[in-house]
């Protein structure tokens, strides 16, 4: 049996390619901004996680350049050994203080952060309790741990309680949820999760990749939004979204961070964040703190689009975040509409199974603080053309 057999027989993407509707690996010929260049054409970008619009901010670019000049292009080693810069330590201190936690720890990517924290914290005698819609990196973090993994139906608190009830007291329990679900755009029911965690003696970890910079008065995310910052044991996040860089972090108690630092294999056996990335994230965090109006603007832009899309009768899922899923249900329809929108000069992210349940395909649209009304109106016109005129 040739181990490559599965590759030879893999036809899914090939069919879409033949039909000219394959939507992935789209090449951008410009930086990531509210407008990008695709196939030589100006295109409105409503598929990015650049929520605060900081990837092109001159201050962030300048900070990255300065770090590049001072520290060079890479750290050539792990944080554990030769790869810790004063910049990493500063970034961790600032994150901990911003998120009102005792300490923080940075990882090379957000994905790796989830692998690193979950596999370090949850051992053989423990249970991880996950929302079914959690991000792939959480699921893989669970696989990497030796713990037992139980899943509850998406945002279904009765199901969560049913599961918690079954776990004997002698086992450690970690409830892990996305703060903002990356594809669905909805927010976890944190108040109820906190209540149940207390009742059943579980710890809570929130992956706030999409909550930081978009939720809460100061952009501190899901826990701030609910006024429950002191009730979440581990806040995880990434630098690849609001903080305009690459990398990830956790913020937690000193004890947890100290432990993870010394046992987490994805942390110890991987090179640290590049100087330019660390400096960019730090400067983006400065801007988030000094310009909280950006958080208001990203929410306003999302509200504008939500109302606009609704008025046009476009089937959207109601959310309170900058992620607005437009329902397309079937794979092929999702690809066709994404292509039609792109032809009209609007980029959206087509999402099909396994990222969502089969039959629940969607176009993931997402908005930033720096989209102008003209750009948003342009996108609405394109939606109207594609959905209403071509049916």
Residue 111 binding ligand PMP, by CB under 6 A: yes
Q: Does the footprint of ligand PMP cover residue 248 (CB under 6 A)?
A: yes
The nearest distance, CB 113 to ligand PMP, in angstroms, is 7
Among 23, 47, 110, 221, binds ligand PMP (CB under 6 A): 110
Give 26-73 as a 3 state SS string: CCECCCCCCEEEECCEEEEECECCCCCCCCCCHHHHHHHHHHHHHHCC
Cα dihedral 256, 257, 263, 265, rounded to 10, equals: 120
Q: Could you say whether residue 321 binds ligand PMP (CB under 6 A)?
A: no
| List 241, 272, 366, 371, catalytic entry | 241
Select which of 88, 173, 210, 371 is catalytic. Answer: 210
Sign of the dihedral defined by the CA atoms of residues 221, 323, 237, 287, in that order: negative
Contacts of 23 (CB under 8 A, 6+ apart): 16, 335, 338, 339, 342, 350
The least CB distance from residue 285 to ligand PMP, in Å, is 15
Concerning whether 210 is annotated as a catalytic residue, the answer is: yes
Reply yes or no on whether 353 is catalytic. no
For residues 243 and 59, is the Cβ–Cβ distance under 8 A? no
Residues 312, 347: Cα–Cα separation, whole Å: 19
Please state the φ and ψ torsions of residue 71, each to the nearest 5 degrees.
Answer: -110, -10
| Binds ligand PMP (CB under 6 A): choice among 57, 92, 207, 283 | 207
Rg (CA), the chain: 21
238 lies in the binding site for ligand PMP (CB under 6 A): yes
Q: Beta strand 172-178 with 126-131: parallel, antiparallel or unpaired?
A: parallel
CB of 374 to ligand PMP, least distance (A): 28
Out of 55, 137, 245, 270, point to the residue binding ligand PMP (CB under 6 A).
137
Q: Are the C-beta atoms of 83 and 275 separated by less than 8 Å?
A: no
Residue closest to ligand PMP, measured at CB = 110
Nearer to ligand PMP, 137 or 264 (CB): 137
Least Å distance between CB 184 and ligand PMP?
11
Asked if residue 358 lies in contact with residue 337, where contact means CB atoms within 8 angstroms, the answer is: no
Specify whether 182 is catalytic: yes
Position 107 contacts ligand PMP (CB under 6 A): no
C-beta separation of 371 from 34 below 8 A: yes
The minimum distance between CB 109 and ligand PMP, in angstroms, equals 4
Q: Which stretch binds ligand PMP (CB under 6 A): 30-38, 57-65, 104-112, 321-329?
A: 104-112
Residues that bind ligand PMP (CB under 6 A): 109-111, 114, 135, 137, 178, 182, 207, 209-210, 238, 240, 248
Active site residues: 182, 210, 241
């Amino acid at each position: 049996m040739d181990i490559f057999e599965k590759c030879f027989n893999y036809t899914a993407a090939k069919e879409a390619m033949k039909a000219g509707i394959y939507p992935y690996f789209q090449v951008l010929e410009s930086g990531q901004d509210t407008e990008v260049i695709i196939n030589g054409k100006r295109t409105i970008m409503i598929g990015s996680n650049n929520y605060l619009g900081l990837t092109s901010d001159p201050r962030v670019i300048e900070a990255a350049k300065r770090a590049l000049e001072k520290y060079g292009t890479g750290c050539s080693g792990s944080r554990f050994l030769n790869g810790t810069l004063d910049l990493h330590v500063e970034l961790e201190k600032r994150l901990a203080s911003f998120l009102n936690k005792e300490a923080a720890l940075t990882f090379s990517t957000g994905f790796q952060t989830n692998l690193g924290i979950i596999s370090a914290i949850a051992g053989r005698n423990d249970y991880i309790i996950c929302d079914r819609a959690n991000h792939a990196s959480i699921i893989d973090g669970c696989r990497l741990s030796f713990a037992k993994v139980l899943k509850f139906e998406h945002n279904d608190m009765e199901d969560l309680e049913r599961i918690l009830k079954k776990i004997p007291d002698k086992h450690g329990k970690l409830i892990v949820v996305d703060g903002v679900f990356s594809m669905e755009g909805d927010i976890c029911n944190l108040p109820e999760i906190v209540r149940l965690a207390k009742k059943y003696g579980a710890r809570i970890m929130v992956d706030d990749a999409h909550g930081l910079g978009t939720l809460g008065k100061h952009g501190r995310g899901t826990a701030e939004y609910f006024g429950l910052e002191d009730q979440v044991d581990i806040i995880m996040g990434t630098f690849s979204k609001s903080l305009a860089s690459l990398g990830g972090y956790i913020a937690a108690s000193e004890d947890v961070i100290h432990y993870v630092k010394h046992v987490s294999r994805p942390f110890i056996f991987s090179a640290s964040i590049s100087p330019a990335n660390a400096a960019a994230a730090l400067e983006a965090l400065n801007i988030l703190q000094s310009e909280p109006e950006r958080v208001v603007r990203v929410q306003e832009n999302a509200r504008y689009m939500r109302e606009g899309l609704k008025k046009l009768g476009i089937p959207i899922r109601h959310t309170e975040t900058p992620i607005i899923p437009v329902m397309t249900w079937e794979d092929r329809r999702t690809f066709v509409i994404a292509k039609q929108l792109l032809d009209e000069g609007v980029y959206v992210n087509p999402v099909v199974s396994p990222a969502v349940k089969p039959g629940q395909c969607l176009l993931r649209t997402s908005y930033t603080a720096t989209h102008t009304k003209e750009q948003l109106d342009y996108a609405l016109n394109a939606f109207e053309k594609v959905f209403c005129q071509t049916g």
